[in-house]
Amino acid sequence: MSDLKRSLSEAAAAAFQAAGLSPEFGRVTASDRPDLADFQCNGALAAAKSAKRNPREIAVQVVDHLKGDPRLASVEIAGVGFINMRVSAEALSARAKEIAADPRAGAALVESPRRVLVDYAGPNVAKPMHVGHLRASIIGESVKRLYRFRGDDVVGDAHFGDWGFQMGLLITAVMDEHPFIQALMEKLPEAPRGFTKADEDKVLAEFAALISLADLDRLYPLASTRQKEDLDYKERARRATAELQNGRFGYRLLWRHFVNVSRVALEREFHALGVDFDLWKGESDVQELIAPMVHQLEDKGLLVEDQGARIVRVSQEGDKRDVPPLLVVSSEGSAMYGTTDLATILDRRSSFDPHLILYCVDQRQADHFETVFRAAYLAGYAEPGTLEHIGFGTMNGSDGKPFKTRAGGVLKLHDLIEMAREKARERLREAGLGTELSPEAFEETAHKVGIAALKFADLQNFRGTSYVFDLDRFTSFEGKTGPYLLYQSVRIKSVLRKAAEAGLKAGRITIGEPAERDLAMLLDAFEGALTEAYDKKAPNFVAEHAYKLAQTFSKFYAACPIMSADDDATRASRLNLAQTTLRQLEQALDLLGIEAPERM
Ligand SMILES: NC(=[NH2+])NCCC[C@H](N)C(=O)O
């Protein structure tokens, strides 16, 4: 089973081949003049150039070969040699029927599934999340779902930032605030003889009683500001970080408490956003791998001294792109962000052995990843081409700079979601929607509308583009928005409910009216949109398809009455089209990480 674009491409390829030309020229695309044709093939022009022949002559040969294909109602030459095709009603009906019967709503699977690891979100302990993390979460979740839906074996990993300087800052701040903890830390440079798991749990419980998430949220920014002015403080934090990393027992316990508290809170917020990880590994998880890795890099002759630090040079003379070297060990002897990323590649190789790792991280880290990837290829830790950075632009405020809250601070995911939810409530009330829902159901709908607004606003743009945060626009039920798509899907659900209540059943699809035709064409285009999104790691192609599908359905519904159709067969066919549209639309929304409510 394949979509029309692909099956017509195959036919055109055969036609080119029959004309003694490369089948490559047979690529068929959706027509840019839908009023004239459904599909077009421009291959005759390219073929003419390479074969030094007349394009029209080639087009005539190809068209002659294609004529009589039962799928085509017409195939004609336009201009200097463009080939225009119109699909027959029978072929379109058959394809629509196929999609209606397909649990995958017309989407194919990849031919050879791969193991793919998606590294996304990348939140940090205690440090507040910024818009980069929000976008990484939204885009990464969608890419993960897309790859999984295409049949790959996919694991999504949060890659928790739990090992940097911020840990030393927190330890220092907490000790300053709690003399009890300070004293305890002095008593516990290492595990006392006979210290059991139960003893550890007791200490952790004491930490839990003294330090809450709110405390971490309060202390981190204070400590982070202070270390900028107070060199002595900074030095203490730096030492604490080093001691933690060297395994100081008390610090490790305290650190475990920080990690636990942050993780629980973060997972709750991500879950509210509809972002769920398969793996929640942290930077700390690969620390044991670093020392042997450094040795190995040394043995391979890749490590060089540079002003007291040890680096891997990844650029060579004449390289198109000059990227900074990988800083493996700093002059102070610590492992760095890139060192951890390199060790993580080793860890992933031994645990999951991925064919591909996708890093969904802010575009501003492009150089960092280029450096890490090159080092990994040089060291033989990954096959060239199997590591890929999926960068993205920023979400900006109206001032054109990365979005900040009104108070000027970085946004908290929790607050952002609440803002979107509040706007969604307002919008629903304004539109007179959800009036029949129970208060709980109304809340749930408002939540779904709010999340859809945020996610769709993000995913409708190609990821590389930056966009401006505008909650009023994002939450509107009109225009290219998440709420519009939810509204359309709820509308279809309501039609289907009414039909079911009246005992009406969906039946055999026949395509006749132009609006039915347009809808069937769009249902067929799902596969093409998914392929593009998959190849380019760009969910905006799925978003675009969902939007067009909703719009096309809306026009279809206006032009082709369902309940009051002229006869039973037409009604059954249109009901089936509506049902199939809903399934495909919900599938597309699911790939964007968006959930539609049952009612509004
Ligand atoms: N493998 C990675 N480096 N992933 C991205 C991690 C992002 C990092 N925690 C940050 O906040 O910037």
159 touches ligand 1 (CB under 6 Å): yes
Ligand 1: does its nearest atom lie under 6 Å from the Cβ of 140? no
Q: Which residues contact 487 (CB under 8 A, 6 or more apart)?
A: 433, 477, 600
Q: Does ligand 1 come within 6 angstroms of the Cβ of 124?
A: yes
C-alpha 339: how far from chain center: 25
Ligand 1 atom having least distance to the Cα of 161: 9
How buried is 171 (Cβ within 10 angstroms: 0-12 exposed, 13-18 middle, 19+ buried)? buried
pLDDT at 404: 80
What is the distance in A from the centroid of ligand 1 to the CA of 388? 14
Is 557 near ligand 1, meaning CB less than 6 Å away?
Answer: no
- Name which residue sits closest to atom 8 of ligand 1, judged by CA: 122
Q: Which atom of ligand 1 is nearest to the CA of 337?
A: 3
How many Å lie between the centroid of ligand 1 and the Cα of residue 360?
9
CA angle at 380 for the pair 377 and 383, rounded to the nearest 5° = 60
* CA atoms of 553 and 557, how far apart (whole Å): 6
361 lines ligand 1 (CB under 6 A): yes
Distance between CA 211 and CA 201 in Å, rounded?
Answer: 15
Q: Report the separation in Å between the CA atom of 361 and the middle of ligand 1, taken as the mean of its atom positions.
A: 7
Instruction: Compute the distance from residue 250 Cα to the ligand 1 centre, in Å.
Output: 27
Ordered by start, the domain boundaries in the chain are: 4-87, 165-272
582 lines ligand 1 (CB under 6 A): no
Q: Which of 133, 162, 166, 394 to mutate to test the pocket of ligand 1 (most atoms within 8 A of CB)?
A: 133
| Locus of tokens 């793919």 | 116
Mutate to test the pocket of ligand 1, among 143, 344, 359 (most ligand atoms within 8 A of CB): 359
Residue owning the nearest CA to atom 7 of ligand 1: 122
> Does the C-beta of 163 come closer than 6 Å to ligand 1?
no
The residue ranges of DSSP E strands in 70-109, in sequence order, are 72-78, 82-87
Closest CA to 223 of 180, 176, 190: 176
Nearest Cα to Cα of residue 5 among 23, 31, 24, 25: 31
Structure token pair of residue 557: 């519904």
Express the helix, strand and coil content of the chain in percent, nearest 5 each. 55, 10, 30
* pLDDT attached to residue 408: 65
Q: Round to whole Å and give the CA distance between 520 and 514.
A: 10
In 331-405, which ranges are continuous DSSP H helix?
337-351, 366-379
Distance CA 359, CA 369 (A): 8
Q: Residue 483: which of 440, 428, 432 has the closest Cα?
A: 428
Q: How close is the Cα of 496 to the center of ligand 1, in Å? A: 45
Whether residue 541 has its Cβ less than 6 Å from ligand 1: no
Q: Measured from the CA of 133, which atom of ligand 1 is nearest?
A: 11
Cα 454 to middle of ligand 1, angstroms: 22
CA of 228 to the centre of ligand 1 (A): 22
Side-chain half-sphere CA neighbours of 62 within 13 A: 38
- Residue bearing the CA closest to ligand 1, atom 6: 122
Residue ID of nearest Cα to ligand 1 atom 10: 122
Mutate to test the pocket of ligand 1, among 277, 361, 413 (most ligand atoms within 8 A of CB): 361
| Ligand 1 atom 4 nearest Cα | 122
The residue behind tokens 């509004």 is: 600
- CB 338 near ligand 1, within 6 Å: no
Q: How far is the CA of 17 from the centre of ligand 1 (A)?
A: 49
Spatial CB neighbours of 171, under 8 Å, sequence gap ≥ 6: 237, 240, 241, 244, 251, 254, 255
Distance 161 CA to ligand 1 centre (A): 7
Shortest-distance Cα residue to atom 12 of ligand 1: 122
| Residue to mutate (ligand 1; options 125, 277, 359, 365; most atoms within 8 A of CB) | 365
Amino acid 219 reads L
**Tokens standing for 540?**
């905006």
Classify domain 4-87 at the CATH class level.
alpha beta
Give ∠ CA 142-588-385 in degrees, rounded to 5.
40
Q: How far apart are CA 62 and CA 234, in angstroms?
A: 74
Distance set, CA 322 to CA 317, 338, 371, 491 (Å): 9, 17, 9, 54
What's the 120 CA to ligand 1 centre distance in angstroms? 8
- DSSP-assigned beta bridge partners for residue 312: 303, 326
Please give the chain's pLDDT, 600 residues, in tens: 689 999 999 999 999 999 999 999 999 999 999 889 999 999 999 999 989 999 999 999 999 999 999 999 999 999 999 999 999 999 999 999 999 999 999 999 999 999 999 999 999 998 878 888 999 999 999 999 999 999 999 999 999 999 989 999 999 999 999 999 999 999 999 999 999 999 999 999 999 999 999 999 899 999 999 999 999 999 999 999 999 988 999 999 999 999 999 999 999 999 999 999 999 999 999 999 999 999 999 999 999 999 999 999 999 888 888 899 999 999 888 889 999 999 999 999 999 999 999 999 999 999 999 999 999 999 999 999 999 999 999 999 989 888 887 666 677 888 899 999 999 999 999 999 999 999 999 999 999 999 999 999 999 999 999 999 999 999 999 999 999 999 999 999 999 999 999 999 999 999 999 999 999 999 999 999 999 999 999 999 999 999 999 999 999 999 999 999 999 999 999 999 999 999 999 999 999 999 999 999
Pocket test for ligand 1, best of 119, 162, 281 (most atoms within 8 A of CB): 119
Residue whose token pair is 């000027």: 408
Q: Positive or negative CA dihedral for 399, 401, 407, 412?
A: positive
C-alpha angle 213-216-220 in degrees, rounded to nearest 5: 155
147 in contact with ligand 1, CB cutoff 6 A = no
User: Rounded to whole angstroms, how far apart are CA atoms 310 and 303?
Assistant: 6
pLDDT of residue 373: 98
Residue 371 Cβ < 6 Å to ligand 1 = no
119 lines ligand 1 (CB under 6 A): yes
Cβ contacts of residue 137 below 8 Å, gap of 6+? 120, 121, 270, 273, 275
Q: Within 13 A of 388's CA, how many CA atoms are on the CB side?
A: 17
Distance 74 CA to ligand 1 centre (A): 54
- Kindly state the DSSP code that residue 111 receives in the 8-state scheme: S
Structure tokens at 528: 């093409």
